[in-house]
Amino acid sequence: MILPLEYKEKMKKMLGEDYLSFIKSYEDERTYGLRVNTIKLSIDNFLNINDFVLSPIPWCKEGFYYLPGDNPGKHPYHESGMYYIQEPSAMAVVEFLNPQPNERILDLCAAPGGKSTAIAGKMKGEGILISNEINPKRARVLSENIERMGIENTIVTNEPPETISKKFRDFFHKVLVDAPCSGEGMFRKEPLSSEEWSLENVRTCAERQLNILEYAKDTVMKGGLLVYSTCTFSPEENEQVIEKFLKKNKEFSLEKQKDFYPFEHGQNKWTVSNFKEIDKAIRIWPHKVKGEGHFIAVMMKNGGSSAHFNKVKYPLDKNKLRDFYQFEEDYLKRDLNGNIFPFGDNIYMLKENIDIKGLKVLRPGLHIGILKKNRFEPSHSLALYLKKDDFKNSISFSSHSDEIIRYLKGETLNFHGTKGWNLVLVDGYSIGWGKMSNGVLKNHYPRGLRWL
C-alpha cells in the first residue's frame, strides 16, 4: 500500500520504536467483523444456524471475525437483520458507552449506523435513542439500517449538531460523538482514502470535531456521559481535541476506564500542555490488536443529576386507526407494547414519545405501516421487528433454498398456505411480508431492497 510520505514521517516521529511494527501492520490483511443483533436472536441461536467460519472478538461478546470469502453481507441472514457488518475495533466504542435499557441516548454523528444499532441492541427496546446524521443521503442509509435490525425505540433525524443542541438541553443520559475524522485507521480497509490525507485536512477535522463537541455538551444531562471517538491516529484529532474541550468546559471530566489488554491509553506527550488526565482515554492500535484502530474518550458532565424531560402525548384518533386495529385483530398474536401514533398516513410506535417538533425526522419510531384507502398495509420495519410467534401466519424458507433467493429477488411464489398476510421467515427469523391468495404468495419484499 502506498502511504503519503508526510503521514509516514509524522507517525514515525510519534511512535518511535513502535513505528516499525505499526507500519508493518499495513502488510497484513485488514480485519473483518460482524456483530450479532441480539434484538433478533441470541448469540447461541445465531452460532447454531450460521454457516460462516467465525472467531470471537475479545472486547465485544456479540462480535465475531469472519473470513471475507464467506461474504456475510450477501446472505439472506443479513437481509433479515441477524447481524451488522462492522469493523472490529469500532465495536469497542459502544462497550465504553455502556448503554442501558430505559436511558435516553443521542448518537449525534450516526450514519451508517454501526454504533446506533449496537446501542439499540444493548437498550433492548427500552428507553429512547436519537440517531442523528447531518448528511441527508447518509441519513437515509442509517434509517434503512435501523429498519433492517428491527429496532423499535429509535428516532432517526437529519440535522446539524447546532439544531440538536438547541432542541435537547440537559436531556440525554449518554451522548456519543463518533466524529468525522481524517480516517487514518481506515487506510487498510479503503486504500484510496489515504490519497485524500493531508496535514491541512487533519487540522480542519480537528476544528470541526471540537465544534461538534461544543454543541454536543449542552445535550448531556448533569451526571450524564459524553463519549468521543474517532478512527484516526493523529493526536490533533484525539488527545488535543479532548485537552482543549476539557480545559474550556470545567464541568466535564475524563472517566477512568477498566484496563483491557491490549488496548492502550491516551498519551500526555501527544497533548499540547502535557495534559496528564488524557491517560484515561483509550487508544486501539492495528499493530496491537486484530482491528483497524480507534480513539475513545469517556467524559462525565459533573454537578449532580438533573434532566429536562417533557413527555409528549400524541392525540389518538381511533377512527383514523380503524383499519390498523382490524389488522391487529386479524393477525397479531400479542399487543404491540407502545404508543401507536399516526404521522400523516403512516403509523408509528414508540414506548416514550418525546418532543421532536421542528426537526427533520426520517423515522419517528418503529414504522408499523401505511393507512391506504379502506385498508392497512404493514411496513417492512414491522416484519423485521416481529418474531415468528407474534404473527398468526408465517412461511419459513431455508437459507439454502431457491425460494428464499427468489423471494429476495421479488418473485411471486406458488405456495399453499393461509390466505392473507404472511410473515416470511428465513430459518425461522422474519425477513419480510408476503400476501397469500389461491396458492400464490404475492411478494411484498421492498422494491428498493430486492436482489438483482
Binding site for ligand SAM (CB under 6 A): 90, 109-115, 133-135, 138, 160-161, 178, 180, 208, 212
Helix, strand, coil in percent for the chain, rounding step 5: 35, 25, 40
27 is in an annotated binding site: no
The interaxial angle of helices 136-148 and 114-123, nearest 10 deg, is 40
Is residue 60 flagged as an active site residue? no
Q: Considering the complex, what minimum distance in angstroms separates the CB of residue 189 from ligand SAM?
A: 12
Nearest approach in angstroms of CB 180 to ligand SAM is 4
Cα–Cα distance list, 328 to 263, 336, 391, 436 (Å): 49, 9, 10, 17
Shortest Cβ distance from residue 86 to ligand SAM (Å)? 7
Is residue 178 a known part of a binding site? Answer: yes
Please, which residue, 82 or 395, has the CB nearer to ligand SAM?
82
* Cross-strand pairs, 423: 394, 433
How many CA within 13 A on the CB side of residue 212? Answer: 30
Q: How far is the CB of 325 from ligand SAM (least distance, A)?
A: 37
159 is in an annotated binding site: no
Flag whether 258 is marked binding. no
The span from the CA of 32 to the CA of 451, in Å, is 23
R_g over Cα of the chain: 23
Task: Rank residues 107 and 403 by Cβ distance to ligand SAM and give the closer one.
Answer: 107
Q: State yes or no: 111 annotated in a binding site.
A: yes
Shortest Å distance, C-beta 306 to ligand SAM:
26
- Whether 114 has a binding-site annotation, put simply, is yes
Q: Which amino acid is at 103?
A: E
Pick the closest to residue 80 from 125, 137, 133, 39 (CA basis).
Answer: 39
Helices within 16-69 (DSSP H only): 19-24, 43-49
User: Which residue lies nearer to ligand SAM by CB, 114 or 235?
Assistant: 114
Of the candidates 299, 304, 381, 274, the residue with the CA atom closest to the CA atom of residue 336? 381
Nearer Cβ to ligand SAM (233/445): 233
Q: Which CB atom, from 131 or from 422, has the smaller least distance to ligand SAM?
A: 131
Catalytic residue numbers, as ranges: 231
**Which parts are annotated binding residues for S-adenosyl-L-methionine?**
109-115, 133, 178
